[in-house]
Structure 1
Amino acid sequence: MVDLNRRNLMKSSVAAALGASVVGIASGSETEIPESDTSSAPSVVGDIKRFSTTAYGAEVTGPFVFENGGLLYSLQHPSGDNPEPFDRAGVGYFSGFTFELDGDNDDFEEVPVPTSDSAQGKVRSANHEYVLLGQGREPINGGSERLGVTQTPDGNDISLDNFEGTQYGGAATNPDCNQFVPTDDAGTEGYLFTNWENSPGNVSRIPISMTEDGEWEADLENAINLANTEPLRELGGTRINCYGDLSPWDTMISSEENYAHPRVSLTNTVGDIVDAGSGEGMIGGCQFWNRPNPSDCTENLDFSPQGYWALSGVEFLAYYLGADRIDQGSDANTTEPISDVYPNPYRYGYHVDFREPTADPPQPVKYYVMGRAAWEAPNIQADRKTAYGLSDGDNKGIYKFVADEEIDSYDDPMDIEGTLYAPKITNDAASAEDAGVRNNPAETDLVIDWLPLGHASQRECEAWIAEYDDVTQVDYLEAHTESWSEGDEVTDEVLAEADRTVVEDGNQNYITNEEIVEWARQYEENGYDGVDEELRRVPFLETRAAAKEIGASIEFNKAEGVDSRDGAGPGEFVYFGISEFNDALADEEGDIQLDRIDGGIIFRGELEQDYNVSRLEPVIVGPDFVPSDRQADGDDGVANIDNVYVMDDGRVICCEDGFKAGPANFPNDGLYVYQPPVDVDVESLAIANGGSGEADLTVSSLPNGFSGARVTVSTSDDGVAEFTGASYDDALGMTADPKVAADGQSVELRVADLDGEIQPGAQNVTLGTLELDADGTGTTDLEVTVHDIDDEGGSEIDVQERMGMVVTGPPAIGGGPAGGQAPTDPDGDGLYEDVNGNGRMDYADIELLFENLDDESVTMNVEAYDFNENGQIDYDDVVELYEEQ
């Protein structure tokens, strides 16, 4: 396996200096904590309050907050024994309720736990009625369709009522993500887009509008299922549409949670299979995609491939695409192969953007270039380039994609290109192997180094995918048996022979095991952009397998929610929900070896200047699921997070998907609202040697307003940087002259808001801008001490102090050019490629380094110029720099 743990600690520090603040909450245990009783499980950094419990049998999915603060969510797969209307799936809103969007949870009363059968059988909040706008299988579109139900090209509903075989979830029983696209300036009319988590998948579009008395009503007569429109059918349709996002350009993005994509099971790699000469016990479910009756692949195996169960509905997907209907048995698919039309596995497992959302119909775009996974959700940042995605299931990844240009700026979405990344967790505290102890995940940050998997365009990915379009179930049998050919009877012996061949050699109809291993070998030798042209497809079509093969930290279990506030910028947070912190996260292998918390964890990562996230800190910790955690009322934390939704005021809606599994004494999942702590945060920055810079001191949110504050910021290390002064925002009515210490290592600011310019609910308020000079080379923490900070009424605000960091670069080499510029680090990786300090990488940088390899400005700053990462300065560093040009 390739080890790419490259300059991790230094890169993490430098990444923080470019915009990420850190909070000192990580610590190691003195002794191993038993997995059955992990401290701080459950716990919350901030406050959390339960708004709603859903009906028995249902998850809480698809929250959406309207511009006026109204709330809706989906009633997903409720029990049919519930009283009407809570016995059928649907989407509803809370009548008469609106969040005040001021950042404070005082705008609603907490709903009590449901103790009676009647309370457990319905959707509840403390004071507001849940009103359904539409329910699955209701007539829509003039009666030609049923809400959430996909159809064949000739208009037959694809359901177990009409077709025999297997289906992933009953048709229209699993509504999930909801996004509202307004069509008027007031946000009172528009289209509600809803995911239906089935296979074939679906997204519905319902016109809704607000009445004069503030209620919502749906126009089901003019609602449509986008799955049944030609543009989406031409893309191959979708499967298992789970959560999603509203893009920065105001379109619905639906994520395909293609659980059947795993090529290898759990912690195994493709290299393990090649080395063993067989995939016995290691092969994943996707290798049986085009097998006749694929979800029954275990009948000839002695093990269960990961994700095999999600092959249910693949043959129904073929019917959706127009395949001739096979004469099937009453309780299972026949083994007669589908030979005319069959879905291409590489067309499923993507984020789908519905461009032109008000058109009839909208135009879908699948973001192939963002990688293929069991996507729970995407989160596209305000730079319109950076996207984070979470893949649900066991031993899965958190991925990042960065487009070369703004995603919506390309005239043709197929021209979008960029780089796909996988995570590498690098800090010793996360690994028992390195730390010597198994630390508590409730008290341990995760530091991420992003490994580039590949760079490609949408058009390239589409061409690679299209090469597998004509593969059918006939090919599975012909490629993996000795004597069978189309038209022959498919006996149990024929099918068993094909299955055994696939286990031993892999499915030869798709990307082969050998191609993945060869891609990883070339990746190690030549870098992600140095692999053969034919192998460039591997990380985009086999994302999880490729990432595992190069040693990325594909260890997350049920990574189910990711979101940030719309328009969030550097210094704000992205929230990552991990529904269960167990299995590979709590085993004795890999980069993450921490204690087990079955109730999961919500992390947050601070956005840096380039919208990177390099550190995840736990803020909401679920329960342990042991008898000692048995909760009387479920008030102590979210169990098994699913969707997370960040409101405009910074609060986070947290949805549970832990039906009857957690320690609460009631069986209903709940919707909670998280109120983050008030952070007083100093910005991080990098300063050229001998230069100067500025760092903002901000308060993250002020739900109850602001009257004044006294704050000191100090450095942790002398000789790196010193404060020279500070300035204030003109909106602050009274300020004291900044008090800079005689040694320049601290500065005190004192401010008051005399005229009430800072309103309750204000976010990211700048208290002052600190001025610093670089004294030498190195790094220093910027430590915040809040002496006093009061709200509008004079009450003290409970705050969390967050550190920043200053990185100062090496001095000018050999006296430098005429201007004497110090080198710079253009990409923030801790290496100073801009050797001559002119603001860019060019050939002059190579010449200057070559001519000054023995100069003290170079030899005393090895970490800045060690481009080949061998711990010393040598001529190969010049070669490496040349190859980066």
Structure 2
Amino acid sequence: MNRVAYSLIASAVTLALTACNGDDGAQGVTGEQGVQGETGTNGTNGTNGTNGTNGTNGTNGTNGTNGTNGGAGLIRIATVPAGAEVTGLHLTKQGDLFFNIQHPNDANTEVDTLNNTPFNTGTVGVLTGVNFNELPRNIVSSPVPATSSALEQQTVVSAIGQYQILGQTGDTFSGLNEKSLSGGLGVIYGLNTKQEIIKNNMPDFNGFIPTGDNTGYLFTNWEDYPGGMSRLKMSKTTNGAWSVEEAMMVDFDSVKGTAANCFGSVSPWGTPLTSEEWIVNSTVDTTTNPTWNKPTDVGSRLENFRQFLAPEFPNPYRYGYIAEVQNPTTDTPDVVKHFTIGRYEHENSVVMPDRKTVYSSQDDTGGVLFKFIADQPEDLSSGTLYGAKLTQDTGLSDPAVTGFDIEWVELASNTNAQIETWVAQYDDITSADYVEGKTSYISVADVQAWVDGKATYPSVAEGGSPITAGKPMDDRVAFLESRQAAKLKGATAEWRKLEGISINHDRVLEAVTGQNVIADEIVKSAYMYIGIADLDNTMTDSEGDIQLSPRVKDCGGVYRAAIDSNYNLTRIEPVVMGGTYRSSLTGAERCDVNQLSQPDNVIVMRDGRILIGEDGFQENNTLWMYDPKSK
């Protein structure tokens, strides 16, 4: 503020004659006023004075420290209905935040005023009326739903915006230009019979492909066995609400279907990458897929796939990959499975701004963090696969302060075309080929022979697979049994529930290249964020590369990984952890309701804050926002 001081200077001169040490005399008579004299001539103007010198500027004060948000920097953006987890977090460049309500209680009956329908089945939706790219930092947390309020318990309660339902399991969008949705959203049909196999209640990943400022296609994963993906053509009105104009399920028949389509991402060139979280059953100390074709093994996953592929027997090596939806806005998008990125329980993959480097998380016990570098930008069909080797900080074990340095172990290089020829060799295996105590598929002995540099695969008598026994060695194990290959090559296979990974493309691009991509700040360092649902089991067993204390356990936490000038991850460190796990308690009380409880999806916002979706113990799981600057 400028401050101006005004002074009014008044000057009065009085002549007073008084007697000295005596009494005053009487006042005399007033005389007549004399004649006014002539006006004198004006004097000449004086010369201007010289300007004063400027004072020296004071030094700038030091920047104040960032203020903290309440508690640990966590703001509760929304809670989801009872029984549901938060999935499908996706933030568009226009600031629209999509997220889903996965497997809510089917007994939920309450309805809100906006949607007028209960949240009792899988739900795809968006927070309307708010731009998350311009979100202020003084957001106040939404309340924990009151146990006495069925409405709060069974609907979405948000701190900002209103949750709009875009579609729910089984919706047919009658009256719209449905392209291929006769059975409804999330419904999967047999490849050959065209009979309904499953009505999916598990919407997960969302990815929005814009066609204009307020129009585009929303792709949504449906996580089951077999899996699926829907596509909604949508437009946004002036008040922020969305309308669906077309609906379809993406046709995966050309790749013989997908399995448990989990989280995912959108590539920098605008194609959805859907992740198959197929349960690979590839533990590193037993034979792999030992009972998949056992005649008496008729688990729900196997039985669903038998129905889906009938009369074929399902080949497990056809599932467990990243699938790219190419030409996503055409009437019939193309689907390509990238065998090159490896086969394991994919949570999701993230492509760096170089359009070649891809990081992938394995959601399992004893999982690996993988890296893939493509031979050419925007082409994931050929390249080299790596596994991360971790070195834990010396003398530390508490999850809140313990980080890890990263080295990368090279596994192998190859192409989709070559790997698929190896996959096809297992297509004709059926239950008739099962031998008790043996495996019809790749064995640990096969992987070990590859690691040891053997010229040929071991014989069946030596524990080898009948398909490869005695044949020249190749690199199939790196791509078909990627966890085993990485483990035996020296990578760290000890992650527990390695969930969503995420970057903000523009922040990473600016930090690495120095380009001023984000106008309101200069980003000098950027990170890939990693959600860990559980910090237990192989991470707390006092063995191997990861030896953390079990204090946090199933409450989980979020890590970040530093990205260097070559888009290489060099170090992983904790960002925010759940509270102390209280094993003496049960239910929601095991993890503090005001802290993280089994984080799943993570998304990095344009301003560096992160959004975290829970799959936890709470009565109502939370969509959190965390500000790393509060730490």
Q: How does 1:299-318 map to 2 (within 5 A)?
A: 312-318=300-306
Partner Cα distance (2:591, 2:542) in 1: 34
Letter in 2 for 1:82: N
The one-letter code of the counterpart of 2:540 is A
Matches for 1:43-122 after TM superposition, within 5 Å: 47-83=73-109, 84-101=117-134, 104-106=136-138, 108-116=139-147, 117-122=150-155
How far has the Cα of 1:208 moved from its partner? 1.1
CA distance in 2, matches of 1:86, 1:291: 40
Among candidates 323, 333, 336, match of residue 352 of structure 1: 323
Q: Partners in 2 of 1:626 and 1:210 — Cα distance?
A: 45
SS across alignment from 2:290: helix
Q: How many angstroms does 1:470 deviate by?
A: 1.6
Deviation of 1:458 after TM superposition, in Å, equals 1.5
Q: CA offset at residue 428 of structure 1?
A: 5.1
Supply the distance in 2 between the matched residues of 1:523 and 1:465 (Cα, whole angstroms): 21
2:156 corresponds to 1:136: no
> d(CA) in 1 for partners of 2:484 and 2:590?
43
Q: Write the deviation string for residues 647-667 of structure 1: whole angstroms up to 9, x where unpaired.
A: 22222110111134xxxxxx1
The 3-state SS of whatever aligns with 1:62 is strand
- Superposed, 1:459-498 pairs within 5 Å as 459-476=417-434, 480=435, 498=436
Percent of aligned pairs sharing the same letter: 35
Q: 1:511 aligned to 2:422?
A: no
Please say if 1:441 is aligned against 2:399: yes
Tell me, in whole angstroms, the C-alpha distance in 1 between the residues paired with 2:140 and 2:594. Answer: 17
1:293, CA displacement in angstroms? 5.0
8 Å Cα contact 1:76-1:176 kept in structure 2: yes
> What's 2:566 paired with?
610
The equivalences for 1:518-533 within 5 A come to 518-522=449-453
The equivalent of 1:238 in structure 2 is 258
Of 176, 185, 202 in structure 2, the residue corresponding to residue 147 of structure 1 is 185
2:445 aligned partner, one-letter code: E
Whole-angstrom distance in 1 between the partners of 2:454 and 2:596: 41
State the AA in 1 paired with 2:610. Answer: V
Instruction: Give, in whole Å, the separation in 2 of the partners of 1:65 and 1:417.
Output: 29
Report if aligned partners of 1:620, 1:637 keep a CA contact under 8 Å in 2: no
* Alignment partner, residue 292 of structure 2: 289
Q: Distance in 1 between matches of 2:290 and 2:319?
A: 14
Partner of 2:365, secondary structure, is coil
Q: Are the structure 2 counterparts of residues 536 and 45 from structure 1 closer, same or farther at C-alpha, using a change threshold of 3 Å?
A: farther
| Residue 442 of structure 2 corresponds to residue 423 of structure 1 | no
Aligned-partner Cα distance in 2 for 1:572–1:465: 38
Match of 1:123 among 143, 147, 156: 156
User: Matched residue of 1:139: which SS?
Assistant: coil
Verify the 8 A CA contact 2:209 2:217 in the aligned structure 1: yes
Q: Quick one: which amino acid aligns to residue 248 of structure 2? A: I
Letter in 1 for 2:125: G
The within-5 A match list for 1:322-333 is: 323-324=310-311
Give deviations 1:404-423, integer Å, cap 9, x for gaps. 221x2x4xx6xx32111111
1:631 to partner: Cα distance: 7.1
What amino acid is the match of 1:574? Answer: M
Q: Report if the CA contact (8 A) 1:601-1:622 is conserved.
A: yes
Unaligned runs of 5+ in 2: 1-68, 110-116, 456-470, 513-524
Cα distance in 1, alignment partners of residues 354 and 387 from structure 2: 20
Secondary structure of the residue that 1:614 maps to in structure 2?
strand
**TM-score normalised by L of structure 2:** 0.77
Structure 1: gaps spanning 5 or more residues: 1-42, 160-170, 271-281, 297-311, 325-340, 430-434, 481-497, 525-531, 661-666, 678-797, 801-885
Flag the 1:176–1:523 CA change in 2: closer, same or farther, 3 A.
farther
Give the superposition deviation at 1:44: 11
Aligned residue in 2 for 1:24: none
Q: Is the 8 A contact 1:183 1:190 kept in 2?
A: yes
Q: Does 1:363 align with 2:334?
A: yes
Structure 1 residue 213, shift from structure 2 partner: 2.8
C-alpha separation between the residues in 2 aligned to 1:346 and 1:44? 48
Aligned partner of residue 361 in structure 1, secondary structure:
coil
- Find the aligned partners of 2:228 and 2:340 in 1 and give their Cα distance: 22
1:627 CA drift (Å): 6.7
Q: Distance in 2 between matches of 1:44 and 1:465?
A: 53
Retained in 2: the 8 A contact 1:236–1:343?
no
Q: Aligned partners of 1:182 and 1:365: how far apart in 2?
A: 21
Alignment partner of 1:251 is 2:284: no
Answering whether residue 536 of structure 2 is matched by residue 582 of structure 1, we say: yes
Once the two structures are TM-superposed, the CA of residue 144 in structure 1 deviates from its matched residue by 2.0
C-alpha distance 676-467 of structure 1, shift in aligned 2 (>3 A): same
Instruction: Count matched residues.
Output: 514
Q: Tell me how far 1:100 sits from its aligned partner.
A: 4.1
> C-alpha distance in 2, partners of 1:50/1:609?
34
Structure 1 residue 643: Cα displacement: 0.5
> Match of 1:225?
249
Shift of 1:363: 0.6
How far apart, in 2, do the equivalents of 1:428 and 1:100 lie?
36
Deviations 1:296-333 (A, max 9, x none): 5xxxxxxxxxxxxxxx3223223223x14xxxxxxxxx
Distance of 1:101 and 1:593 partners within structure 2: 40
Matched, 1:177 2:205: yes
> In structure 1, what residue type is equivalent to 2:543?
E
**Distance between the aligned counterparts of 2:226 and 2:590, measured in 1?**
41
Deviations 1:140-178 (A, max 9, x none): 53662311111123432113xxxxxxxxxxx22000000
Give secondary structure in 1 for the equivalent of 2:538: helix
Q: C-alpha distance in 1, partners of 2:291/2:331?
A: 37
Does the Cα contact within 8 Å between 1:573 and 1:604 map onto a contact in 2?
Answer: yes
Partner of 2:497: 558
Deviations 1:487-545 (A, max 9, x none): xxxxxxxxxxx3xx23xxxx1x2223321110111189xxxxxxx96331111100111
Number of the residue aligned with 1:642: 600
RMSD (Å) for aligned C-alpha atoms: 2.5
Equivalent in the alignment of 1:674: 626
Partner of 2:376: helix, strand, or coil? coil
Deviation at 1:127, TM superposition (A): 4.8
Distance 1:469 1:155 in 2: 21
Contact persistence 1:263–1:287 (CA under 8 A): no
Q: In the TM superposition, what is the alpha-carbon distance from 1:256 to its structure 2 partner?
A: 0.5
The code of the aligned residue for 1:582 comes to D
Cα deviations by residue, 1:592-627 (Å, 9 ceiling, x for unpaired): 111112211211111101111110010111122217
Cα deviation, residue 359, structure 1: 1.4
State the TM-score, normalizing by the size of structure 1.
0.56
Contact 2:579–2:592 at 8 Å: present in 1 too? Answer: no
Q: CA deviation at 1:471?
A: 1.6
| Secondary structure, counterpart of 2:445 in structure 1 | helix
**Residue 376 of structure 1 aligns to which amino acid in structure 2?**
E
Instruction: Give yes or no for contact 1:57–1:659 (8 Å, CA) kept in 2.
Output: no
* Aligned partner letter, 1:390: S
SS state of the match for residue 424, structure 1? Answer: strand
Q: CA distance change for structure 1 residues 58 and 562 in 2, over 3 Å: closer, same or farther?
A: same
Q: Aligned partners of 2:243 and 2:118: how far apart in 1? A: 16
Residues 453-492 of structure 1 show CA distances to partners (whole Å, capped at 9, x for unaligned) of 111112111111111122222222xxx1xxxxxxxxxxxx
Corresponding position of 2:487: 548
* Corresponding residue SS for 1:319: helix
**Greater share of helix:** 1
Partner residue in 1 for 2:282:
263
Note the alpha carbon deviations across 1:373-430, whole angstroms, 9 max, x for none: 1011111111111111111121111111111221x2x4xx6xx32111111112452x
Shift in Å, 1:212: 3.3
Q: Which residue of 1 aligns with 2:49?
A: none
Determine if contact 2:400/2:574 at 8 Å carries over to the other structure. yes
